[in-house]
């Protein structure tokens, strides 16, 4: 049974806007650090560390804070489905994709997710595709097109990487809708943690079978610093924040709010990795900010009019 949205776009509290802003900042900043880490740590072992440490940390936080961590029997099956889509599919597709193409461009393809999530939520959650959402999607996709347009050759030169990132986007969209459809009793921290823990099992098996364990003594300090950021923010805070927003807001709105992440990813990749930044990125930033404003701020302004 689908859980109905408790908050509409027009009634998002300031705390919700701050949560989404923090999610955008920390998740966007993840991509250059991920690129650096994957330069020394094989994909499967990288994801094993992320999922195991991230999942255990979220469950520990939930337990120590007295939150509900136990799953009801009816919750196990849908949570496993969410795990496959939100975690296994997303993490494997995105890790391979970002290792095969520039990080700033990989994140752009991945965050076509709001388009797929908005379409799927209209069919499976009966969420209306409002004019404001159409405007937001149009502006957001225009911003992404500005970023990737002149570099469309990336698709041709690294088609497998591009397809992996598209697979990550669709998998995440399906997982978002599946998560929203279920009435959960456990806390958001526990639900996010269990998804990571469940996903760590097949990923760890894959790491053992498919890739040799890296020599941890040879890993550079820069990579370890990158891992600390990845584990603390994207794998703990951002996992909690995203599923918190999906539970609290319409799924399509939560998905559209992620449109700012690729812009932050492009700017942070330029700052940290030295990837190109210029008029494209600035134009994309303006378009994406307009997109976010059309669903996060404009509805409230329209409602406040006498």
Domain housing 196: 11-301
Answer yes or no: is 36 within a domain: yes
Name the helix (H) or strand (E) containing 184: none
Answer yes or no: is 238 within a domain: yes
Per-residue confidence band for 157, with pLDDT thresholds at 50, 70 and 90? low
User: Residue 25 and residue 47: Cα distance in Å, rounded?
Assistant: 21
Answer yes or no: is 2 within a domain: no
Closest CA to 296 of 5, 7, 10: 10
Answer yes or no: is 3 within a domain: no
Answer yes or no: is 207 within a domain: yes
Which of 3-12, 84-93, 123-132, 141-150 shows the lowest per-residue confidence on average (mean pLDDT)?
3-12
Average pLDDT over residues 12-33: 86
Q: How many structural domains are present in the chain? A: 1
Half-sphere exposure of residue 262, counting CA atoms within 13 Å on the CB side? 34
User: Residue 211 and residue 207: Cα distance in Å, rounded?
Assistant: 5
pLDDT at position 72, please? 94
Confirm whether pTM is higher than 0.85. no
> Which pair of tokens denotes residue 100?
């095969």
Q: What are the tens digits of pLDDT across the range 79-114?
A: 999 999 999 998 788 878 877 877 666 767 777 788
Answer yes or no: is 6 within a domain: no
């Amino acid at each position: 049974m689908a859980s109905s949205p408790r908050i509409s776009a027009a009634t998002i509290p300031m705390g919700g806007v701050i949560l989404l802003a923090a999610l955008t900042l920390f998740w966007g900043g993840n991509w250059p650090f991920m690129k650096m880490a994957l330069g020394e740590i094989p994909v499967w072992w990288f994801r094993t560390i992320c999922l195991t440490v991230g999942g255990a940390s979220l469950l520990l936080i939930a337990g120590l804070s007295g939150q509900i961590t136990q799953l009801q029997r009816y919750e196990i099956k849908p949570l496993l489905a969410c795990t496959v889509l939100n975690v296994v599919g997303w993490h494997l597709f995105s890790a391979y994709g970002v290792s095969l193409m520039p990080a700033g461009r990989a994140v752009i393809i991945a965050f076509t997710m709001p388009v797929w999530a908005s379409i799927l939520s209209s069919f499976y959650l009966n969420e209306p595709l409002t004019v404001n959402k159409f405007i937001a999607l149009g502006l957001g996709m225009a911003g992404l097109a500005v970023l990737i347009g002149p570099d469309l050759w990336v698709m041709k030169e690294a088609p497998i990487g591009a397809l992996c990132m598209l697979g990550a986007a669709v998998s995440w969209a399906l997982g978002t809708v599946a998560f929203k459809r279920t009435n959960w009793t456990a806390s958001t921290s526990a639900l996010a943690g269990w998804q990571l823990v469940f996903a760590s099992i097949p990923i760890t098996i894959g790491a053992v079978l498919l890739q040799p364990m890296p020599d941890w003594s040879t890993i550079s300090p820069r990579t370890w610093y990158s891992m600390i950021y990845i584990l603390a923010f994207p794998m703990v805070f951002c996992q909690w924040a995203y599923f918190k927003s999906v539970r609290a807001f319409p799924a399509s709105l939560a998905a559209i709010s992620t449109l700012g992440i690729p812009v932050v990813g492009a700017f942070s990749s330029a700052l940290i990795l030295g990837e190109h930044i210029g008029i494209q990125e600035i134009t994309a930033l303006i378009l994406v900010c307009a997109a976010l404003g059309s669903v996060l701020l404009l509805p409230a302004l329209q409602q406040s009019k006498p």
